[in-house]
Structure 1
């Protein structure tokens, strides 16, 4: 700064002029940097394979001039504060207030830029991983990671601001640690559910839209995976809200992953003495003709048991969409029922024969 306070043309620069030179010089440097990044910088990064650097440059270029303006204002205020005499105590005090406001604005602008860069970097990394692994982007994990990163950047910015104003940051960190421990002990279940949500979002045992069976036996489609709980819509159109901690502890069945194919099973009982081959042929025929039943693997009929009143046959097949399971099974049951009626193949039902005999000493 002292180099600016020299004689120029036989005249010594005043503190105000020096401050103005610092402000406009820093602002001009910001505009020049922005122009360089917009021209040469974009040409250089266009040659790279990754487009992450393009995203980062786009974020920085739009804000570099504002960073330069705030930085210039801070340098100018610092120059005025240093050159103000001891007699100008009030001026120095107001300059100190102004410096504090400008410093807070400067840290806020830098933090905003870092947050944007971090959010864009995380999203780009997850999208790249999803493309390479041929998986869908985890839309539930992205907001969680961005929120954690934003909180960390905010805390760091807050600590820097407090340190600038002479506050004891170490005591604040200790207080935060003690407070965090108290909160953790008081909210164990909530924290366990939050950890469970993070595990679900990273391990991905199910995704939004998947049909799952809960440990309690309910079946439904996943509507939302939150930090604390997961929302599932069952077949009665009721919303089940299940804590994440219970989901990661229990045993889940995912009908949608890794493929949406699902087995269809139709069990039919025929009377003893019926023509088994004819019954099996009819059941197989309807399965092969159904448009939603896969031909590979081919559907097949098996004799799975001898019941009290019937021979139990099981039709096994597969459909490409788990959402069609009940509709396909219902259609096949109706077709088999009417075909058995037409072919006189009896579908028995349980019967009981009761014999009444008189007591041994009853009079005749």
Structure 2
């Protein structure tokens, strides 16, 4: 081994002595060697990694390796360019500008890599149903845009450092400008933060049927950073600012673990009615309706002894909350007809007036 090293030294030493006076030739040699190393890293190393990750079932690692080619090549090649610049003994200002330019390009290339990597990772997480609740297709734009903003600010920070710009002074100035803008755009900012909290907390999602404490009821059609849109049963779209949605009491009719929705029909019968017959009629009316779910099955409850009636309640399940109004109407009609056929009286409050004569 020692003999081989000595032989290599004997061969290379004359070449080194010959090339030493020619700094431009040395710089060119450094660049060529850097280009060769970059190509080796891009093809040989990446190809080896691709063979290793090909055995896995996930496509995530394939995307990462594919995206890594360009930044790896650029980094190695730019290092050789920087070394060649030092070897040429350029004036210090020119060297500084060259290094800053190379650093800026390299940072932008790596920025593209991390943006692509973040998008791929978030997409994979959003498709893994039930494993990562915080990342869903509805919240994907929020996390994607937030990650892009952080990566862009980080890249900007390193670029400023490369050019010798005082970052602390810029941050202080940005803070003052941001404070001034926040006072002038309080409503817009509150809506944006409200939209971010809705997308992150997920009290509802697109397609859910919700009720607001202000009385609005409808299907969620869009969740944006500024507002949330509801489509009512009257085919009217309501746009609600997210600052109000974030502080409102919201009833999500489709937010439970099951998609089905329970409706209630209240009815009163006269005292003295056969309660077993009443319960049987209510059950039959609900069970015979084609749009009432068999599971869970309909149930009846005697809720109270009213002033003039026995107060019953029929509870039945339907597939979607949007059907509530129509099915309650149809059940009320069918209950009324069934009670009339069975001669069951539905009482109503009435007053008897007795007039006393003066005689």
TM-score (norm 1): 0.78
**Is residue 2:332 matched to residue 1:333?**
yes
Residue-by-residue CA offset, 1:170-195 (whole Å, 9 max, x unaligned)? 21122223333333444444433333
Q: 1:236 to 1:19 in 2, by over 3 A?
A: farther
Task: Report what 1:316 is aligned to.
Answer: 315
Does the 8 Å CA contact 1:33/1:64 hold for their aligned counterparts?
A: yes
- 1:119 matched to 2:146? The reply is no
Would the alpha carbon gap of residues 300 and 142 (structure 1) be closer, same or farther in structure 2, given more than 3 Å must change?
Answer: closer
Provide the rounded CA distance (Å) in 2 between the counterparts of 1:323 and 1:40.
Answer: 56
SS in 1 for 2:340: helix
Residue 132 in structure 1 maps to residue 131 in structure 2: yes
CA distance in 2, matches of 1:153, 1:13: 45
- 5+ unaligned residues in a row in structure 2: which ranges? 1-11
Unaligned 5+ segments in structure 1 are: none
CA 1:234 to 1:74, structure 2 compared with 1: closer, same or farther past 3 Å?
Answer: farther
Task: Find the residue that maps to 1:253 and give its secondary structure.
Answer: strand
> CA contact under 8 A between 1:71 and 1:106: conserved in structure 2?
no
Match of 2:60 in 1: 52
- Does the Cα contact within 8 Å between 1:18 and 1:79 map onto a contact in 2? no
Report the alpha carbon displacement of residue 210 of structure 1 after superposing the two structures with TM.
1.0
Q: Which residue matches 1:43?
A: 51
Q: Residue 178 of structure 1 aligns with which residue?
A: 176
- CA displacement at 1:24 relative to structure 2: 3.6
RMSD of aligned C-alpha atoms?
A: 3.6
Counterpart for residue 4 of structure 2: none
Matched, 1:229 2:223: no
Assess if the C-alpha contact under 8 Å between 1:67 and 1:109 holds in 2: no
Tell me the equivalent position of 2:3: none
Q: Matched residue pairs, number?
A: 347
Hey, what's the Cα distance between the residues in 2 that align with 1:302 and 1:157? Answer: 66
Change (3 A) 1:234 1:21: farther
Contact kept? 1:271, 1:309, Cα under 8 Å:
yes
Pair 179,238 (structure 1): closer, same or farther in 2 beyond 3 Å: same
Q: Deviations over 1:241-270 (max 9, x none)?
A: 223333333322111122222222122344
Structure 2 length as normaliser, TM-score?
A: 0.79
1:206 CA drift (Å): 1.3
Q: Could you tell me how far 1:25 is from its partner in structure 2?
A: 3.1
Q: Tell me if structure 1 keeps the 8 A contact 2:206–2:220.
A: yes
